[in-house]
Amino acid sequence: METPDSNLFMACRIPNREAFSALPAGYTLRPLRREELPLWMDIHFDSPEEARDNRPYMERFFAQVYAPQEALFFRTCRLLCAPDGEAAGSCFVWRAYGQVNTIHWFKVKRACEGRGLGRALLSAVLAPLGEADYPVCLHTQPGSFRAIKLYSDFGFRLLTNPVIGGRTNDLKKSLPFLRKVMPPEAFARLQFDAAPAVLLEAADSSPVSEF
């Protein structure tokens, strides 16, 4: 059985706007403040220990991908806030390699799950995009099977290319795991597609994986 941290890639060419939903009452979405960068780096992990262990990776990713356009990052990155002002999640659309729109760092804190926040958060970051902004692509892992189901609802399809940029696409090995852990009806609704040419060209343009 494939381990849940393997590479999977998805792309949406035309969004399913029927899947969109509004933020629950009291929740807000705002740009990340510069002084909140450590909070943002930690929010994607479910324990302080995991956040600590992954901090070098997060700092390296920020330096390679966002630091050259730091002001744009802070204008673009969105922090989801609960009614009491506490951070509940984060997500944003980033033009990776300057060529293709990608979903970055989609996360709802575990303590905040089960309230429809993931769907509302993804809706909020995709809603401003127009037809010319698609395709939108993303990288995920089999272990994020709940997110994969949600992405699928929005019109994202699993990509079938064996390699994207410098990373192996582990779709074939991951499908048995997804079949086991996803509800049967959700697994049956998964769709597949070849990677958009713009994604392949963009991913091949740099040794750095920007999404």
* Mean pLDDT along residues 132-156: 97
pLDDT recorded at residue 2: 47
CA-CA distance, 161 to 164, in Å (whole number)?
A: 7
User: Do residues 155 and 16 lie in contact, with contact meaning Cβ atoms separated by under 8 Å?
Assistant: yes
Contacts of 56 (CB under 8 A, 6+ apart): none
Q: What is the assigned CATH class of domain 21-91+107-126?
A: alpha beta
What size, in residues, is the chain? Answer: 211
Extents of the domains making up the chain: 1-19+133-205, 21-91+107-126
The whole-number average pLDDT for the span 111-132 is: 95
For 207, the token pair is 């040794």
Give tens-digit pLDDT for 49-69: 999 999 999 999 999 999 999
Q: According to the model, what pLDDT value does residue 53 have? A: 97
Does the pTM of the predicted model rise above 0.75? yes
Residue 31: what are its φ and ψ, rounded to 5°? -65, 145
What does the alpha-carbon distance between residue 8 and residue 172 come to, in Å, rounded to a whole number? 10
d(CA 22, CA 30): 15
Q: Calculate helix-pair angle for 145-153, 171-181, nearest 10 degrees.
A: 90
Between 19 and 3, name the one with better pLDDT: 19
